[in-house]
Amino acid sequence: MKMPPYSKLLVIVRTGHSDCAALAQGTALAEKTGAQLLLRAFDDTAAPLPADTANAWLDTTLARLISMGVKASGERIARQPAQEAMLADIEALQPDLVIKELRRESVLRRLFFTPEDWFLARRSPRPLLVVGEGSAALPTRIVAAVDIATMDGEDLLNQRIVDEARSLAEQTGAELHLAHVYEPVIDVPEDATMQVMGTSPAMIEELSKLHRERFAAIADHFGIAEPQRHLAIGRTDLALEDLCQQIGAQTLVTGSHDRSGLERFLMGHTSEVLLSHARQNVLVVKRAPFD
């Protein structure tokens, strides 16, 4: 089934960052699809510009986009905290896609504050594309990372992941790939006998068979050809990044799960780790309806 074209793109940048990859990506996508580009320029508290300079930058940027034939409009946003203001704009505008520049945070800061990209990945009601440094060009290959779990909502999340990946692929002419990663570890009770059974070759082979069969069924369901299917073993974030490097994929599409604060602290979140690394563009989606 062909996906509907984009009609509205929200591009989030820092005021004065003319050369940021997110703006270049949003511009290229707007030119390719004819979508309206809504530019939101947030004042950078780390290196603030005078108000007159910031407003002049926005006017010049919009004039340049319009001269290129892009249907562009924009606003400069000075209110803080920026991430709350970003979320408010996303909720109000309801774009087909949110595109923003990567915001790197130190490890120490991540211990005490929620990084901006993590905040939006968790709470954005619309798909969020975080563009890594030097990733301005439109993708030629896109990887959709799915989960084989059959818990309530997981199949729906897989559907959202593949739909958004397919939509971006169709509108950019990119090749769509499907991936699943699992770790060869079985969670067993703290019982010596069960632990031995859980790490036995027979049990590990059963686990591998389960993942192969379930992944094949998912790929068949979404109509992904065999050469575009990738089943990998290892730590999820690292294996997905390695896969993107191997096949030359510029964009990785992954899902955002709803977890409690304690679960998130103990288990982490693959999409958030990927956003921290940012070796490629990361498109994060949630289950539909967006929650």
What is the model's pLDDT at position 263?
37
Nearest-angstrom CA–CA distance, 145 and 165 = 9
In a domain, residue 124? The reply is yes
Domain that holds residue 107: 8-131
CATH number at residue 197: 3.40.50.620
Q: Map residue 168 onto helix, strand or coil.
A: helix
Q: Give me the residues paired with residue 176 across strands.
A: 142
Q: pLDDT tens digits for 180-205?
A: 998 876 554 555 444 444 456 777 77
What is the model's pLDDT at position 230?
97
Q: Map residue 164 onto helix, strand or coil.
A: helix
Of 131, 154, 183, the residue that ends a domain is 131
Of 131, 152, 177, the residue that ends a domain is 131
Asked whether residue 162 falls in the same domain as residue 247, the answer is: yes
Nearest-angstrom CA–CA distance, 5 and 168 = 9
Domain count, the chain: 2
Of 67, 101, 131, the residue that ends a domain is 131
What is the model's pLDDT at position 275?
81
Q: What is the overall mean pLDDT for the chain?
A: 84
In a domain, residue 3? The reply is no
> Between vectors from CA 79 to CA 77 and to CA 82, what angle results, nearest 5°?
85
Asked whether residue 227 falls in the same domain as residue 93, the answer is: no
Q: Map residue 172 onto helix, strand or coil.
A: helix
Query: Which parts of the chain register pLDDT below 70?
Result: 1, 104-114, 133-134, 136, 150-154, 185-200, 257-269, 277-278, 288-291
Q: Which amino acid is at 174?
A: A
With a threshold of 0.85, does the pTM exceed it? yes
Q: pLDDT tens digits for 19-54?
A: 889 999 999 999 999 999 999 999 987 778 899 999
Asked whether residue 152 falls in the same domain as residue 272, the answer is: yes
Nearest-angstrom CA–CA distance, 124 and 137 = 24
CB 97 within 8 A of CB 139: no
Asked whether residue 95 falls in the same domain as residue 189, the answer is: no
Q: Which of 32, 49, 31, 33 is nearest to 41 (CA)?
A: 49
